Amino acid sequence: MGLFGVTKDMGIDLGTANTLVYLKGKGIVLREPSVVAVNTKTGEVLAVGDEAKKMIGRTPGHIVAIRPMKDGVIADFDITEKMLKYFISKVCSRSAFTSPRIVVCFPSGVTTVERRAIDEATRRAGARGVELLEEPMAAAIGAGLPVNEAMGNMIVDIGGGTTEVAVISLDGIVTSQSLRIAGDELDKSIISYIKRKYNLMIGERTAENIKVTLGSVFDFERVKDSIVDGHVVHGEDVVDTMEIKGRDLLSGLPKNIEIRREEVREALHEPVMNIIEAIKNTLEKTPPELAADIMEKGITLAGGGAYIKGMAELITHETRMPVNIAENALDCVAIGAGKAIEYASFGKRR
């Protein structure tokens, strides 16, 4: 117990899109994109996080902006380790007397080898002790669900690389599903839709911007108000078209086109229905008593995907269950990891 005062114990959400660090006693102290810019000639890391993200799609030949995490797991081990080292040193720079103990999250669908890679990269980045925590459990704790009670809690965490669906009761995952379809896949669907329909090539960042600004997965035509980022937005305030820039594949030249909300909904249909299927499958496998609890309390949505317009409404429409968007949906996993420090054994028997 005495050591807690001098160490910087932390919870890390090592995400495909964003990495968040929760420092014990302080809350979230770092939130940056999981991106690293590397000079391929020298192997030197040029920038990490926000700085590196700005470089995506804009680098000269010998500089690449890498996203070392893919589908929720480590795609590039060395770069992940360097990125973690940078983030940890950024939050520990002052007043850290000893290296930190870290609770780090992993998607529930990963293999033992992938788990070991996350553990190893965190140790090599400077952790004294590492404890791995399943992402849906962290998200549920961070969303404030009573995970330790004998009661069905359902969490749907739609991140960048993975969607985690889980039913939790008495501190354990009763049933879960992890699918590698989430925000990134939605971006890819927008890219291929626009390429197919308009012969226009757009970049990843443009696609993400379209998803966030114009993306909608439920037909609000007849519904006046919707929920955006947890706030009610009145029908007339919702933008319905957007001008986008890309490269015309026929002429090879830059070109602008205008796309409509319905088109984005069409583009997102398939991956979104895969997410809905996973939710339905998990509900089907949920024991009846717990399903009754969920029916009463609702499904909790977390992760950046919780903010996709119409997502909550579509899930309710398809499952007949009430849906709540977690407060601080983007931060739930990191907050949950941070809170779990209290209970972590860091490899020792408690």
Ligand X SMILES: Nc1ncnc2c1ncn2[C@@H]1O[C@H](COP(=O)(O)OP(=O)(O)OP(=O)(O)O)[C@@H](O)[C@H]1O
- Residue ranges binding ligand X (CB under 6 A): 13, 15-18, 72, 159-162, 182-184, 208, 211-212, 215, 229, 303-305, 307-308, 330, 333
Is 246 a known ligand-binding residue? no
Is 208 a known ligand-binding residue? yes
Minimum CB distance to ligand X, residue 304 (Å) = 2
Is 17 a known ligand-binding residue? yes
Is 199 a known ligand-binding residue? no
Is 337 a known ligand-binding residue? no
Strands in the chain per DSSP E: 10-14, 18-23, 27-33, 36-39, 45-48, 63-66, 69-70, 73-74, 101-106, 129-134, 153-158, 163-169, 172-179, 200-201, 225-228, 231-234, 241-248, 254-260, 299-302, 323-325
Cα 182 to Cα 109: distance, rounded to the nearest angstrom: 14
Nearer residue to ligand X within complex by CB, 160 or 290: 160
Nearer residue to ligand X within complex by CB, 181 or 290: 181
Minimum CB distance to ligand X, residue 173 (Å) = 16
DSSP H or E segment with residue 268 = helix 261-284
Nearer residue to ligand X within complex by CB, 295 or 325: 325
Is 160 a known ligand-binding residue? yes
Cα 28 to Cα 16: distance, rounded to the nearest angstrom: 18
In the structure encoding, which two tokens stand for residue 211, read together? 């998803």
Minimum CB distance to ligand X, residue 1 (Å) = 31
Minimum CB distance to ligand X, residue 14 (Å) = 7
Nearer residue to ligand X within complex by CB, 193 or 290: 193
Cα 107 to Cα 114: distance, rounded to the nearest angstrom: 10
**DSSP for 240-267, written as a single string:** -EEEEEEEETTT-SEEEEEEEHHHHHHH
Is 308 a known ligand-binding residue? no
Nearer residue to ligand X within complex by CB, 228 or 257: 228
Minimum CB distance to ligand X, residue 150 (Å) = 28
Q: Give the residue among 176, 180, 140 at the shortest CA–CA distance from 160.
A: 180
Strand, coil or helix: 235: helix
Is 211 a known ligand-binding residue? yes
Q: Give the residue among 309, 90, 334, 56 at the shortest CA–CA distance from 186.
A: 309
Minimum CB distance to ligand X, residue 338 (Å) = 14
Nearer residue to ligand X within complex by CB, 267 or 290: 267
Between the CA atoms of 244, 247, 249 and 251, what dihedral angle is there, to the nearest 10 degrees?
A: 110
Annotated binding site for ATP: which residue ranges?
16-18, 160-162, 208-211
Annotated binding site: which residue ranges?
16-18, 160-162, 208-211
